[in-house]
Amino acid sequence: MAKLIDGKLLAEDVISTVKSETEKLVAATKVTPGIAVVIVGEDPASQVYVASKGRKAKECGFHSVQHTLAETATEQELLALIDELNNDPAIHGILVQLPLPKHIDESLVIQAINPDKDVDGFHYINVGKLGAGDAASAFVPCTPAGAMIMIERQHGHDLSGLTAVVIGRSNIVGKPMFNLLLSANATVTVAHSRTKNLEDLARSADILVAAVGRPQMVKGDWVKPGATVIDVGINRIPAPEKGEGKTRLVGDVDFDSAEKVAGAITPVPGGVGPMTIAMLMANTLVAACRAAKVPAPKF
C-alpha cells in the first residue's frame, strides 16, 4: 500500500512558518502583510473559497480585506478597484476570485494586477519568469507550488534521473507544474486529452501528476509500481450510497486501485487542496518581504 501524503499536515507546516516569519517581519519593519480578495457576484463555491482564504489570512496575522462587487459590476469598475489596490501600500497581495461573470475579460483583469502583488502567479511577467527558469523571483501559482513541495518531501529538491508525467496542460496547473519539475532536473512530459497511448506514458512516470478534471480517470494500472502520484483533481460525483441526491469528492485518480500500486499518493480531499491556500499565504508573505526590502523565507 502506498504512503499517504497528508496535505493537511504539510499545509500546517507551511502556515506555521508563515506565522513565525510574519511576526519577525512586523517586529523588524512594522510591515504587516496585506491581502485583498476581490469577488464579483454571488457564486456559492467562490464565496466558500473566499471566506476560507480570509480566515487563513487572519490566522497568519495578515491585514485581510475583501471587496465584493455585484454580478452586474462593469469591467471598468473592477479595473478601477484593481488600480486602487495596486497603489495601496498596505496591500501586498491581490487575488481576484475566478471565474468572473461572462461580460468581464478575465485575462485583461489578471494582467491589470501589479506583477509584484500577483500572489496567484497568473500575470504574464510571473509566467514568463517561471518559464525562463527564474522560479526564485517569480510568484508561482499556488496549486503547483504546493504540489511541488509534496514531491520534494518524497524525492528531495534534485529530481535528476527521474521521469515525470503531467496529465493536463492548463495555465493554472499543468504548464507551471511542467516548468517546476523541469527546473528541478526531472525529465518531464506533458500529456493531455489528445495524447496517444496515455496509459503507457503514465506508466513510465516515477512522478505522475494528474490535473485533467476528469473524475477517477487515472486507474491503478496506469501507475508505475512505486511511483509518486499527485492528484490535483477535485470532482463531485453522485454518491447514492449516502442517500438520494448526495455527492462525494473524488480526484482525477482512481484512489483505491492506484493506492495499491503507487509508492506515495495524495488523497482527495485532504491532499493538494490544503496546500493551495497555504501557498497563497506564503506568496503574500514573500510579497510583503520584498516590499519591505528584507529577505523572504523559502518554502
The pLDDT tens digits for 225-252 are: 999 999 999 999 998 888 888 999 999 9
58 is catalytic: no
| Predicted confidence (pLDDT) at residue 44 exceeds the cutoff of 90 | no
C-alpha span between 36 and 261 (Å, rounded): 43
C-alpha span between 275 and 9 (Å, rounded): 9
pLDDT of residue 204: 98
Other Cβ atoms less than 10 A from the Cβ of 185: the count is 13
66 is catalytic: no
User: Euclidean distance between the first and final Cα of the chain, in Å?
Assistant: 29
C-alpha span between 160 and 182 (Å, rounded): 9
DSSP state of 218: B
Report whether 110 belongs to an annotated binding site. no
53 is catalytic: yes
Catalytic one of 56, 97, 224, 252: 97
Phi/psi of residue 49, nearest 5 degrees: -60, -45
Q: What CATH fold (topology level) applies to the domain 29-114?
A: Rossmann fold (3.40.50)
Q: Categorize the per-residue pLDDT at 37 as very low, low, confident or very high, splitting at 50, 70 and 90.
A: very high
| Predicted confidence (pLDDT) at residue 11 exceeds the cutoff of 90 | yes
Q: Exposed/middle/buried for 258, CB within 10 Å: 0-12, 13-18, 19+?
A: buried
CA distances from 175 to 125, 141, 151 (A): 15, 10, 16
In the chain, where the domains are located: 29-114, 141-272
pLDDT of residue 242: 86
Over residues 163-175, mean pLDDT:
97
pLDDT of residue 198: 97
Q: Which residue shows C-alpha cell 509534496?
A: 150
Contact between 14 and 282 under an 8 Å Cβ cutoff? The reply is yes
C-alpha span between 187 and 163 (Å, rounded): 5
Over residues 153-162, mean pLDDT:
97
Report whether 55 belongs to an annotated binding site. no
Q: How does pLDDT run across 116-143, given as a tens digit for each residue?
A: 999 999 999 999 999 999 999 999 999 9
Which grid cell sits at 113?
494586477
SS3 category, 191: strand
Q: Is the bond into 115 cis (omega within 30 degrees of 0)?
A: no
The verdict on pTM exceeding 0.85 is yes
Catalytic one of 53, 117, 175, 224: 53
Domains 29-114 and 141-272 share a fold: yes
Q: Categorize the per-residue pLDDT at 199 as very low, low, confident or very high, splitting at 50, 70 and 90.
A: very high
β-pairing, 228-231 vs 264-265, is parallel
Report whether 248 belongs to an annotated binding site. no
| Predicted confidence (pLDDT) at residue 297 exceeds the cutoff of 90 | yes
pLDDT of residue 243: 86
pLDDT of residue 241: 87
Report whether 39 belongs to an annotated binding site. no
pLDDT of residue 45: 83
| Predicted confidence (pLDDT) at residue 275 exceeds the cutoff of 90 | yes
Q: Categorize the per-residue pLDDT at 60 as very low, low, confident or very high, splitting at 50, 70 and 90.
A: very high
Which grid cell sits at 276?
493551495
C-alpha span between 163 and 185 (Å, rounded): 9
| Predicted confidence (pLDDT) at residue 42 exceeds the cutoff of 90 | no
Positive or negative: CA dihedral 181, 183, 188, 193: positive
Over residues 78-87, mean pLDDT:
98
Give the mean pLDDT of the chain: 96
Per CATH, the homologous superfamily of domain 141-272 is NAD(P)-binding Rossmann-like Domain (3.40.50.720)
pLDDT of residue 171: 95
Catalytic one of 56, 117, 118, 120: 120
